[in-house]
């Protein structure tokens, strides 16, 4: 199955996760999982341990949205490039990072640009983070573009957290699965199908050509030892995993576990760019989830994939 199903960009391309798809950043920061310390520890450990003697100065957060990951990069790097192609998002990131978080403005460069076509100078970036957004890109074009921007020895990290599962309440999990199935079953437009193929593959469909990359590490957290944990349905991009890449499984990361009530599940689902789904169709499943939770919170665990790669000399 091909992963290249998003139409080539035209003069006025539509980018995924845009305002027309119902994106609400206030809900996003309230209901999406917060990147825990373990997330950034893994990034900084891979990056700084690979070339400890080097003076790393510049990070680039691609598809930065409102700047959540960029905010943590700003604690470790002198310069942070914050890029996103959708109208208004880098303005919002500026507000969050500079006005509200108090980082010095001089630290940042804001670019309303796509991952595939970016004005950042060649060989000028030390670390690139691509969090929760590669599925909206043409990965092979974007990954080549990341290789162009990185200095030799620089790090690329691409991450995705999947739909959370419910632990310890099978009836609630079944109802939650049924809600997911209604949403995913309604996906038929090419942009959303493309996104699904990438997410469903647990990033196995992301390829890192050996001429450009080394030290590829595919890390799965809370994924129960199976890449299938990332499957929302059976539209899966074909694997581009190379022999010699490292695959690592880590379970029990509490940073990606929580206790949540029914209102959180509703709020969380509303943060995903989604197809048209009728509330009437969903109603019986929400009611079943509510009954299964019986007014109590349930324990959630979120699977995460992080793919690391180093720019080769």
Ligand X SMILES: C[S@@+](CC[C@H](N)C(=O)[O-])C[C@H]1O[C@@H](n2cnc3c(N)ncnc32)[C@H](O)[C@@H]1O
Which residues of the chain form contacts with ligand X (CB under 6 A)?
15-17, 62-65, 68-69, 84-86, 89, 114-116, 131-133, 136-137
**Closest to ligand X by CB, 93 or 309:** 93
**Closest to ligand X by CB, 191 or 223:** 191
27's CB contacts (< 8 A; 6+ apart) are: 267, 270, 271
Q: Least distance (Å) from ligand X to the CB of residue 64? A: 5
**Closest to ligand X by CB, 25 or 286:** 25
Strand order in the sheet with 108-111: 108-111, 79-83, 58-62, 125-131, 150-161, 304-311, 213-221, 246-250
Q: Least distance (Å) from ligand X to the CB of residue 231? A: 19
Which residue from 63, 60, 206 is spatially nearest to 144, judged by alpha carbons?
206
Q: Least distance (Å) from ligand X to the CB of residue 99? A: 18
**Closest to ligand X by CB, 67 or 289:** 67
Which residue from 289, 301, 281, 284 is spatially nearest to 263, judged by alpha carbons?
289
Q: Least distance (Å) from ligand X to the CB of residue 219? A: 17
Surface-to-core class of residue 296, CB atoms within 10 Å of its CB (0-12 exposed, 13-18 middle, 19+ buried): exposed
Q: Least distance (Å) from ligand X to the CB of residue 62? A: 6
**Closest to ligand X by CB, 134 or 227:** 134
Query: How many C-beta atoms lie closer than 10 Å to residue 92's C-beta?
Result: 16
């Amino acid at each position: 199955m091909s992963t290249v199903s998003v139409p080539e960009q035209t003069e006025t391309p539509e980018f995924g996760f845009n305002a027309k798809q119902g994106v609400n950043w206030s809900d996003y920061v309230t209901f999406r999982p917060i990147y825990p310390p373990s997330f950034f520890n893994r990034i900084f450990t891979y990056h700084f341990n690979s070339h400890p003697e080097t003076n790393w100065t510049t990070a680039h957060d691609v598809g930065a949205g409102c700047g959540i990951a960029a905010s943590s990069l700003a604690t470790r790097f002198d310069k942070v490039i914050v890029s996103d192609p959708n109208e208004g998002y880098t303005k919002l990131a500026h507000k969050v990072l500079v006005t509200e978080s108090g980082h010095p403005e001089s630290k940042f460069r804001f670019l309303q640009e796509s991952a595939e076509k970016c004005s950042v100078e060649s060989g000028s970036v030390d670390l690139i983070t691509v969090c929760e957004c590669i599925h909206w890109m043409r990965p092979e074009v974007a990954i080549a573009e990341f290789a162009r921007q990185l200095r030799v020895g620089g790090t690329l990290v691409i991450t995705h957290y999947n739909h959370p599962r419910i632990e310890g309440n099978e009836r609630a999990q079944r109802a939650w699965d049924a809600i997911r199935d209604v949403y995913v079953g309604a996906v038929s437009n090419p942009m959303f199908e493309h996104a699904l193929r990438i997410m469903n593959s647990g990033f196995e469909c992301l390829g890192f050509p050996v001429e450009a990359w080394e030290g590829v590490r595919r890390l799965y957290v809370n994924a129960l030892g199976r890449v299938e944990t990332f499957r929302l349905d059976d539209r899966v991009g074909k694997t581009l995993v190379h022999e010699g890449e490292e695959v690592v499984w880590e379970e029990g990361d509490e940073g990606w576990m929580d206790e949540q009530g029914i209102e959180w599940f509703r709020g969380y689902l509303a943060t995903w760019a989604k197809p048209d789904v009728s509330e009437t169709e969903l109603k019986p499943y929400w009611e079943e989830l509510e009954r299964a939770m019986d007014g109590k919170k349930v324990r959630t665990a979120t699977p995460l994939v992080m793919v690391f790669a180093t720019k080769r000399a």
